[in-house]
Amino acid sequence: MLGAIIGDIVGSRFEFGPAPKEGFELITDECSFTDDTVCTIAIADAILSGKPYRNSLVEWCRRYPDPMGGYGTMFRKWFMQDNVLPHASFGNGAAMRVSPVGWLFHEYDDVKDQAKQSAEVSHCHSEGIKGAQCVASLIYWLRTCRITKDEVENSVRRGFGYELPPLKDIMRIGSLGHFDSTCQETVPWAIRCFLESTNYENAIRTAVMADGDTDTKAAICGSIAEAYYDIPEELIEKALRLLPDEMIDVIDRFYDNLKIEIEY
């Protein structure tokens, strides 16, 4: 969960700003949490509190209606309307918020089913659901050592039909100013950034350097990377300083549930 949140915060200042430079500082005063973090917190809170995903997302997004970068137009309309109904979106929002599912459920069938449920309340297009299921599955597989890092690409291809483009192609497209807002682009691109990484920090840097939707690509990449790498304590401390207490409370409950002690 923190893997996704830190990725979001690191990528936040580049989403609509100038492209990052090699060796950029990860977390600065220009960074903040975005809608990716709000929605990730909402999914975790739904599971931990036994609330419907839809209710938790609406509650948290209305509580934070104007995070850095804002929400997508369709999603904002979704959580602000009185009769909250899903729409056939294949945007990357379903995948960027799903990481708690990959950690808090301990049977693979449950992970896939809950990822679907967490997506379809707002993103009921098959591509939106598939993106969420793929990210949650990878987290589950890696954290439980069902697969090795070397087996990720084939597992993703067999399980979800994604072909992962070479990193050089992702970097080239990003340099052209392309904004990867769909699940079918962002998810395989974020997975490739993880596969080319050597540690958590390097994974986040790689995802942000690919430009485009930097906060969401880094959130998805970071969520997967957390299931494989340790996150540096310094990054955790810096990220948590940027979050309100009620979000930190959900994070504490999340790691307490997993019996994982985080230092900050």
Q: Which burial class, exposed, middle or buried, applies to 174 when counting CB atoms under 10 A from its CB (0-12, 13-18, 19+)?
A: buried
Hey, which residues does 123 pair with through a beta bridge?
Answer: 87
**pTM of the prediction?**
0.96
Average pLDDT across the chain, whole number: 94
Residues in the chain: 264
d(CA 194, CA 105): 22
Hey, which residues does 91 pair with through a beta bridge?
Answer: 182
String of DSSP letters for 10-40: HHHTTSSSPPPPTT--SS-TT---BHHHHHH
Look at 75-79, 184-188, 197-201 and tell me which has the smallest mean pLDDT: 75-79
* Amino acid of residue 14: F
pLDDT tens-digit series, residues 143-168: 999 999 999 999 999 999 999 999 99
Q: Could you tell me if 220 and 135 are in contact, meaning their C-beta atoms sit under 8 angstroms apart? A: yes
- The pLDDT value recorded for residue 176 is 78
- The pLDDT value recorded for residue 264 is 66
- The pLDDT value recorded for residue 21 is 85
pLDDT tens-digit series, residues 53-110: 999 999 999 999 999 999 988 899 889 987 777 777 888 889 999 999 999 999 999 9
Alpha-carbon Rg for the chain, nearest whole angstrom, is 16
pLDDT of 142 > 80? The answer is yes
pLDDT of 253 > 70? The answer is yes
What are the backbone angles phi and psi of residue 42, rounded to the nearest 5°?
A: -60, -40
